[in-house]
């Protein structure tokens, strides 16, 4: 099992704060508006509840650790459930629930299904080496 290493991504110009630790920094007004969740967001939520609370595959703290290890650019460019789904991807590999090959195979399958149904597919995929788990990335 790849042991996750301790690593801190530092936010530039903050005197050494980690990337997520932005309390008190000037990021403008907080968007307090409510929005309906998309189906994929609900599914991510359901997977988190299953793997975290029910199956104890990982703790919430482990998800936070993965999210906090995104680089500043990735951290700021992704929204709430994007961060969670990417952390899920890392953690199911880290805890050896599935292999990377199995996961990649499924992703290819999903893209093909989407295309055949005429649904939108993102032109870019999130690179494996910038989602936090350096040990996994360097293998």
Return all residues near 91 (Cβ < 8 A) that are at least 6 apart: 51, 57, 58, 62, 63, 66
Tell me the backbone φ, ψ of residue 129, rounded to 5 degrees: -90, 5
| Single residue of 7, 42, 106, 115 touching other proteins by CB under 8 A | 7
User: What is the C-alpha to C-alpha distance for residues 13 and 130, in angstroms, rounded to an integer?
Assistant: 21
Q: Per CB under 8 A, does 97 bind other proteins?
A: no
- Residue 58 has a CB neighbour count (10 Å cut-off) of 21
Q: Per CB under 8 A, does 54 bind other proteins?
A: no
| Single residue of 21, 45, 72, 130 touching other proteins by CB under 8 A | 21
Sign of the C-alpha dihedral computed for residues 25, 27, 33 and 37 taken in this order: negative
| Single residue of 43, 64, 106, 115 touching other proteins by CB under 8 A | 64
Q: Per CB under 8 A, does 23 bind other proteins?
A: yes
11-19, 35-43, 82-90, 118-126 -> range binding other proteins (CB under 8 A): 11-19
Cβ distance to other proteins smaller for residue 4 or 84: 4
Return all residues near 3 (Cβ < 8 A) that are at least 6 apart: 135
46-54, 58-66, 103-111, 119-127 -> range binding other proteins (CB under 8 A): 58-66
Q: Per CB under 8 A, does 58 bind other proteins?
A: yes
């Amino acid at each position: 099992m790849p042991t996750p290493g301790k690593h801190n991504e530092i936010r530039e110009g903050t005197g050494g704060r980690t990337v997520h630790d932005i309390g008190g920094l000037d990021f403008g007004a907080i968007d307090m508006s409510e929005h309906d969740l998309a189906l994929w967001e609900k599914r991510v939520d359901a997977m988190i509840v299953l793997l975290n609370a029910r199956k104890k595959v990982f703790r919430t703290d482990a998800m936070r650790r993965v999210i906090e290890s995104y680089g500043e650019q990735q951290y700021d460019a992704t929204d709430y459930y994007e961060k969670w789904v990417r952390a899920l991807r890392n953690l199911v590999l880290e805890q050896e629930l599935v292999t990377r090959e199995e996961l990649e195979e499924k992703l290819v399958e999903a893209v093909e299904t989407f295309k055949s149904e005429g649904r939108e597919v993102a032109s870019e995929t999130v690179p494996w080496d910038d989602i936090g788990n350096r040990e996994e990335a360097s293998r």
